[in-house]
Structure 1
């Protein structure tokens, strides 16, 4: 069509030379147009301009421009094979975070402990502080749990004495999340005097490590009574509860405060299910005078590196008990609660001597059994 129009206007039909010129000129224009179109849409030749898409063709903003682009074969092919542009990370970051949490360093995950995927799993305990009441079990738990490889339940679960019918899954649900390299621990002092506890713990795992914090049984009984008196001021006197007949020296072994201190009887029950090497005895007296030394032996027993040392403790003269020095995350030192280090009720010295005589044979057998003299006499 272009050839006919141009030929009719530029040259008469009789002039063959002019017709050839017009034909060649028209052919050149057509060829130039095709080359320009090819070069404009070619990524290899055209530089990347702000108005170009990644596929190399001009971005079509208006409907008319889109129709023109669709007529070009190269760009039409690019349009049909184009893959959808991935969503912007800024628009979808919330959904992405829900689908796949970002990885965290192991040290940070161990400190926070809030996600199963990041911070380990809930496992049954590897070690238990099983006794004894008013011996220093809370102190041992609070001191040992500052070790980075120990995670412990703060409250007493009382699973093996009061809540056993709830099942192991319930018990596991109470545990903190731990990594494979960490020890899971809990403490319930009443386990040591519960008849069924050793068998139940052994049925869970015979390799469980057991910690028993023991203390002079006379001092322990007075401390036990002092605690009970603070809650029930109307109870009988210590002497009335401790003796069936004081003049004859008959001690009432049915009173729980007296019965707990007969350590050898309870230990014999535990040794039916556990080896003696699986039980570590902490001295309640040395825990006060040398907390770092006692905690060092606890760390050895648990197979932990000795990280808790003298630098972690100071002696609180007001409470008469060691406290943890100020941790990095707090502005104050960490001492045990008001119930720890409470001033004991004053007991007649003759009553104390009678109880010492009562406990002496039990203490001697206990020393022989565990291979250690605690020097309570």
Structure 2
């Protein structure tokens, strides 16, 4: 190829050389990256050994979820971001030199090995500057399948936190963005829906989350037509607090929105609640659940307390894992309470690395609401809450 380029006229020599370089780089990238399966297996090794400030090889592990979030392209996240666990530090090797004895492996299960690599995982050659490689044996049977479980609601109840906590489990693989298949994209068909799911290996569960499913009228039947055996998870929260949280999120995006009190009540004198307002309507849980129970038995539902998920995440996650038929891998060692925001963060077992907290919108400060309006809402929700407790056989003890 190079000889051919050199025979070209002088005017096109530069263009020819550039084309040659691009072709060579394409072949290299195909060999280094293209041959690597983009998978959902338990072991993902990300290596960065090209930083001039590193005095020992910086061989680090990156959880597969982080690779998914970055579309498998971002290998330059700083090691103190909380997404990496640092490699062993020693003075036996020169910067940029990779040795198996320095590889730190995190198997997503609180285990790990220093000085060794788990079966089926191939360490990178020291000739690579940046990159990652996963085991072809572990992913040869990886497929995309329709979800085994769906987090169907409720909005502002704690669904994002639940999904992030579930991702810790090595037997769970979850979608990134909410697919909104059954309420917005149903016309795309099941083949499209399957493509939105992550790759899983045998024994792993596929989980998706779209909170609007719970309150959308025709979704239960559509889900039933997909699978009669799918497990359904609902995160519920005190409907008054949930409505305020919903309003707070909306107001942050729409400056000039009316005060919460004016939105919640149709008439401040009579205290008539605006039950048609979405923030209020979502909290009428028994109405929505009744539609689902026409298609699925109660045993296929699990109801998570949004309040308990914050104050006792390990306890709530133990029940979720039992419901999904998973061993209890996610425990209190995975959580750290952010005192400033009053919200739990994820941490590496053993205390390595910085805690991974959810986005800044989680734990957002709520506005102060007129006590009269709060009490009127509590009076409005009280009969619905009591009926909901009876339907699910669980008392969430929301204020009255």
TM-score, structure 2 as length reference: 0.66
CA distance in 2, matches of 1:330, 1:227: 33
- Cα offset for 1:327? 6.5
Of 298, 305, 318, which residue of structure 1 is paired with 2:327?
A: 305
Aligned position for 2:72 = none
Is the 1:109–1:119 Cα contact (8 Å) retained in structure 2?
no
Query: 1:108 maps to what in 2?
Result: 43
Q: Residues 1-377 of structure 1 correspond to what in structure 2 (within 5 A)?
A: 107-108=42-43, 118=140, 120-326=142-348, 331-376=353-398, 377=400
Structure 1: gaps (5+ residues) = 1-93
Partner of 1:60: none
Preserved contact between residue 109 and residue 118 of structure 1 (Cα < 8 Å)? no
1:332 deviation in Å? 2.1
| Change in 2 beyond 3 A, CA 1:109/1:289 | closer
Residue 304 of structure 1, CA deviation: 0.1
Alpha-carbon distance change, 313 to 329 in structure 1, aligned in 2, over 3 angstroms: closer
CA-to-partner distance for each residue in 1:45-84, whole Å, 9 max, x for gaps?
A: xxxxxxxxxxxxxxxxxxxxxxxxxxxxxxxxxxxxxxxx
Label 1:162 to 1:342 Cα distance change in 2 as closer, same or farther (>3 A): same
**Alpha-carbon offset, residue 314 of structure 1:** 1.1
Please say which structure displays the higher CA radius of gyration: 1
1:96 & 1:144 partners in 2: Cα distance?
34
8 Å CA contact 2:42–2:170 kept in 1: the answer is no
TM-aligned CA deviation for residue 234 of structure 1: 1.3
Deviation at 1:326, TM superposition (A): 3.5
Equivalenced residues, count? 283
More moved, 321-330 vs 335-344: 321-330
Judge conservation of contact 1:327–1:333 (CA < 8 Å) in 2: no
CA contact (8 A) 2:346 2:355 kept: yes
Deviations 1:123-169 (A, max 9, x none): 00000000000000000000011100000012111111011101111
Normalised by the size of structure 1, how large is the TM-score? 0.70
Please give the root-mean-square deviation of Cα atoms over the aligned residues, in Å: 2.8
- Alpha-carbon distance in 1 for matches of 2:141, 2:346: 26
Q: Distance in 2 between matches of 1:368 and 1:337?
A: 35
Q: What secondary structure does 1:322 align onto?
A: strand
CA shift at 1:117, angstroms?
Answer: 5.6
